[in-house]
Amino acid sequence: MSNTLQNDLMQDNNDRDLRVYELRTQGFTYDQISKELGFSGPSGAWKAYQRVRESLIFESAEEIRILELFRLDSLQYRIWQDALNGHIPSVNCILKLMERRAKLLGLDKLETGNSNQWNFHTSDIDAEVQRIITIMNEREDEFMARRESEVRAEMRAQFEVERKLEKELSQKRSSQDTKAALLALINEKKEKTE
């Protein structure tokens, strides 16, 4: 197979995987996705989704916060002089940028007085950790329930296919048995007449 053809096939698979990811984030089930994109079953769509998820690099909240602060600084820099010259829309924009920056940095939440003191209690931290563990367990349970449902649906579909094949095979055997019986009768009559 030529490199060009291999590259084209790989690109088609990548495009299809990306479409799976897009549909899944829109709320489609794996069963719906598999029908939409021509997979043999939901597990094929699930595997494609996992391939895309594994290839994505998610930024940390801190990286995103730094990027947002940089954007705010860039915007503020561009309109700062207009605001200083009394351009009211620019002044209002600067104030909104400053509010957003304060929220991102948590400046509004800092207490007056000793702002470097942390007031965490171990029971609060333990409760928060337990809450997070509970959420993670619930999400895992939800995922497993969905996955189990999808697997059962696949198994039912496979069972239906097998039943149809068995029925067709049984009909074929019955037809062959009937044909053989008729040939035997014809041969018997032939032998009797001879």
Q: What is the identity of the amino acid at 13? A: N
pTM above 0.75, yes or no: no
Q: What is the torsional sign of CA 12, 14, 33, 157?
A: positive
Contact indicator for 20, 29 with CB cutoff of 8 Å: no
Per-residue pLDDT of the chain (194 residues; tens, 9 = 90+): 555 544 544 565 678 988 998 998 888 999 999 999 999 999 999 999 988 888 876 677 888 888 889 989 999 999 999 999 999 999 999 999 999 999 988 888 765 555 555 566 677 787 888 888 888 888 888 888 888 888 888 888 888 888 888 888 888 888 887 888 888 878 887 777 77
